[in-house]
Structure 1
């Protein structure tokens, strides 16, 4: 019931999402979610849509992803379950214009997503920002335990940012789940030189993270198929279906 009320509220906010676009909304959402979910390039998607009778240039699909990936992330964010108890935090490398940048992520002990943050540096300030963002939505649910891989920035950050002084656990096996999430997010990222700009990386990674949230099912029990995931996305954008082709 709570999820339905959230979805209905977001649906009412979606009336002007595709105003001025030259393609139908369902096709745009389909292209964006395919790119964010699977190992497909923009040119792969251009060819796939051409086979289905739609002439969509790969650069247009790129613009759609940059426009709608953060929208999808924003609308799926309220569906994340509350976190409590212990959390896992970790950071990984992302290449932007040939330089390494840093993606901080946090999940709860069940693997449910908490938050993420892309930063230009890997230092104390960046770690603090990631913790503040993690606790911003639910400040009363400060974690009792935090699992990390032991970099020097984390212990001091935990003491500074977390109000209740949670226990810092440097335990490798606790990190396996979040490291798997890193792999799932990074496998779709551009190879070689990486993203062309920090803005492009931020917007696209928001979509990658959102699709991982969606795939995990927000802590829901029972079957959670791709069709169920598409139905939720369609509902959030006021559509009957995402995949009509």
Structure 2
């Protein structure tokens, strides 16, 4: 097993451009992981680091999350994420940003593995279609065989437009089966909890950039916890997280 000590004592520059920073890379990565993994605010992490002799302002920790959480997620998606099932469960939940409610589209497969997520201002057919296009295209995933949704007409319309595109393209056998069965969608509805408690810890996100970075970190941590990294071997979720920076 790759020891956690190895990662926490790294002092050389890493792929995430952690060179020439005021604080050691290990400190930065640990703070970002704490924020993504636990019910901690930036001020909580400031206090925890102070107990370890590291004096850093909570605003600096916020900047670390903004900069590095999306980069770590991108490193994971760059060939390190395990393939998902062709049976998807899709749903959206509410996220408060700058005092307004936004929509977080999310999808998991029938085993609960995270497929993708997207924060958007609107909840309509165009937003749902953008989410499906992102989920299918960004990660090189095939068109799903089946998608379970709630009673949302906009989600159904987005899948209908996708099926029409498949038909016009002449892709034989490529149609997506669409099911609107609530109990089958419980698995994705229940998986919203991690992002929701981070929103409550933050008392609502203060900016779109902050919300997207925080969600990227939380979703990344959950994917690692669920064992979605390829060739993780005996590495713990912590070790997998730190390995993304190497």
Normalising by structure 1, we get a TM-score of 0.84
Matches within 5 A, 1:161-180: 161-162=162-163, 163=166, 164-180=174-190
8 Å contact from structure 1 (residues 80, 113) kept in 2: no
Please state if 1:228 is matched with 2:236: yes
Matches within 5 A, 1:47-196: 47-77=47-77, 78-137=79-138, 141-162=142-163, 163=166, 164-190=174-200, 194-196=204-206
Cα distance in 2 between the residues matched to 1:222 and 1:198: 32
8 Å contact from structure 2 (residues 151, 180) kept in 1: yes
Given candidates 205, 209, 222, the residue that maps to 1:212 is: 222
Provide structure 2 residue ranges, at least 5 long, that are not aligned to the other structure.
1-12, 167-173
Structure 1 173/136 Cα, relative in aligned 2: closer, same or farther at 3 Å?
same
SS at match of 2:88: strand
Provide structure 1 residue ranges, at least 5 long, that are not aligned to the other structure.
1-12, 239-245
Structure 1 28/192 Cα, relative in aligned 2: closer, same or farther at 3 Å?
closer
Please state if 1:199 is matched with 2:209: yes
1:54-81 per-residue CA deviation (whole Å, 9 max, x = no partner) reads 1111111111111111011111123222
Normalising by structure 2, we get a TM-score of 0.83
Aligned residues: 224
8 Å contact from structure 1 (residues 107, 178) kept in 2: yes
Let me know the Cα RMSD of the aligned residues: 2.3
Structure 1 96/222 Cα, relative in aligned 2: closer, same or farther at 3 Å?
closer
